[in-house]
Structure 1
Amino acid sequence: MMQNEKVAIVTGAGGTLCSEMARALAKNGVKVALLGRDIGKLKIVEEEINSSGGISLAISTDVTDQASVENAQGIILEKLGVFSILINGAGGNQTEAITTINEFDPKELDNNDPNFRGFFNLDMNRFMDVIKTNSMGSITPCFVFGKTMAKNGGGSIINIASMSSFRALSRVAAYAFAKSGMVSFTQWLGAYLAPANIRVNAIAPGFFLNDRSRKLLTTSDGGYTERGASIMRLSPMKKFGEAQQLIGTMNYLLDDVASGFVTGVTISVDGGFLANGGI
């Protein structure tokens, strides 16, 4: 896939998965704008790309805030030029929005222990934060950058969905709520923007390890936690994904020849997780 002279925007580019996507784009000659809140993490990726001969620019951005995204857009247009690729990878979860139990326990009705969280003693402010980050954190960039792409004749948008887009995974209600909506939004926007020559698709990664999930799913001796072992039981390929294994799907969705008739779809890269009924 040759993308010479193209410019891409990658949000959440300091993270494990999207930093790999950004590096892969740069290796194909794409100039990459790296967006996210943590400028320190973005600068690490920027240095890796630029020292390897690529072109990238790190911009601290709150992707849920329209003014912040518009500010980033001005910098991108000035420094890198007209863009035609948007990858919405910003997202994540918060501990205070995740239950520590899988089903209702009467103890949650009168319990202020922060280490014991049922649905009824979650912090609803943090719950809403997770929903906002994982919904408006992609919708706002689509709104701002998509408008410019439409003015410039088209492009391609990739949203990042999740296994929780398709299954109500235990403990992560806020995250699942937002990510399931991202599949629907991808379908809606793909249909809506087709006349603007903008294809909108999504990738739903299975279980990939990053700093946060490694602590939740693995043990220090190389084994699995209870939750990690449950995932392995439901994963036919019996392993976690590696970030590089998303690149082929990304390249396919960005290729206007190979996927030129594809829009509004979500492709799972999950080691067979969704194919397994669990029986």
Structure 2
Amino acid sequence: MENQFSLAGKVIVVTGGTGILGNAFINGIVAAGGAVGILGRNRQVAEERADAINKNGGKAIVLIADAMDVEQLTAAREKLLSAFGRIDGLVNGAGGNGPQGVLQNDEDVFKMNIDGMKQIMDLNTWGTIIPTQVFGEAIAKTGKGSIVNISSMNSKRAITKVLGYNMGKAAVDCYNQWFAVEMANRYGDAIRMNALAPGFFLTEQNRNLLTKPDGGYTERGELVIKQTPFKRFGHPDELIGALVWLLSDASAFVTGSMICVDGGFSIFGGV
């Protein structure tokens, strides 16, 4: 029986490929047989990851670009096409939060950093849409492909302090459904768009919010664990199965969906 979950012969670009979750994404794609474009701003990390993949028999290329910069993304697209001749998939892994998008409990809610919130919202919203505009055009010329966005628990529930991030991911969810319909109307079942919605995974952006230097949980971290039926944070590798499924032909009739990988956080009522 043909392995529908295989990514053999497929070329996938991963934005945010130099991040913690991005590392799991690129390794999962390569393990499933795909070639990967590691797109990010940190050249040293991207080159280290690509070298490790290529030395182990996989196929990876470094693409240095800002997910919000059309010219840089276009140059990255042409480099990827020059190397592999096609693009079959895109993982919109770029995004995240920052201190400018956090409203602490002791701060005046009517004097929040609006510019900071806008910056984080734009990063997550347009940092998803702009790469899709650039790489999606190449996928359409290939004739068949899959685009996977990264949503969040923040898009569906009121997570305190991080308004810009919440709104950015809510916009990603709206775009995920809207663009999936546009692709279906224009390309039939050839080009699909779906989203992964991770629960709480420790990343560079949230580690200090959720854990203490000694490895224990902060008050916020304790609240997350309390609301997660599995009573732990996720491990980045636990996103790989759902990602590969969405990129592969095994999910050929799936579009506009959001797959929660969250240890039950999204369904738990707290009682």
Normalised by the length of structure 2, the TM-score is 0.93
Structure-2 residue corresponding to 1:218? 211
**Is 1:8 equivalent to 2:12 in the alignment?**
yes
Q: 1:273 aligns with which of 247, 265, 268?
A: 265
Q: 1:27 aligns with which of 27, 31, 34?
A: 31
1:97-143, CA deviations, whole angstroms, 9 ceiling, x for partnerless residues?
A: 20111xxxxxxxxxxxxxx6443333332222111110111101111
2:14–2:38: 8 Å Cα contact kept in structure 1?
Answer: yes
CA RMSD of aligned residues (A): 1.4
Q: 1:50 aligns with which of 50, 54, 78?
A: 54
Closer, same or farther in 2 for the Cα pair 1:6/1:222, shift >3 Å? same
Structure-2 residue corresponding to 1:249? 242
Q: 2:111 aligns with which of 117, 121, 132?
A: 121
Q: 1:232 aligns with which of 221, 225, 236?
A: 225
Using the alignment, how far apart are the partners of 2:91 and 2:237 within structure 1?
16
User: Paired residues, what number?
Assistant: 264
Structure-2 residue corresponding to 1:106? none
Structure-2 residue corresponding to 1:207? 200
1:10–1:18: 8 Å Cα contact kept in structure 2?
Answer: yes
1:31–1:56: 8 Å Cα contact kept in structure 2?
Answer: yes
Structure-1 residue corresponding to 2:168? 178
Normalised by the length of structure 1, the TM-score is 0.90
2:96–2:205: 8 Å Cα contact kept in structure 1?
Answer: no
Matched letter for residue 205 of structure 1: P
Instruction: Summarize the alignment of residues 49-88 of structure 1 with structure 2, pairs less than 5 Å apart.
Output: 49-88=53-92
Matched letter for residue 53 of structure 2: I
Using the alignment, how far apart are the partners of 1:48 and 1:16 within structure 2?
16
1:14-54, CA deviations, whole angstroms, 9 ceiling, x for partnerless residues?
A: 11112111011112221111111222222222122122221
**Is 1:263 equivalent to 2:255 in the alignment?**
yes
Using the alignment, how far apart are the partners of 1:128 and 1:94 within structure 2?
11
Structure-2 residue corresponding to 1:143? 133
Q: Secondary structure at the match of 2:251?
A: coil
1:98–1:117: 8 Å Cα contact kept in structure 2?
Answer: no
Structure-2 residue corresponding to 1:169? 159
Q: 2:148 aligns with which of 155, 158, 178?
A: 158
Structure-2 residue corresponding to 1:104? none
**Structure 2 residue runs without a partner (length 5+):** none
Task: Percent identity, please.
Answer: 38
2:7–2:247: 8 Å Cα contact kept in structure 1?
Answer: no
Using the alignment, how far apart are the partners of 2:80 and 2:107 within structure 1?
42
1:26–1:55: 8 Å Cα contact kept in structure 2?
Answer: yes
Q: Secondary structure at the match of 1:209?
A: coil
TM-superposed deviation, 1:212: 3.2
Matched letter for residue 57 of structure 1: I
Q: Secondary structure at the match of 1:157?
A: strand
Using the alignment, how far apart are the partners of 1:248 and 1:161 within structure 2?
16
Identify the structure with bigger relative contact order (alpha carbons < 8 Å, sequence gap 6+): 2
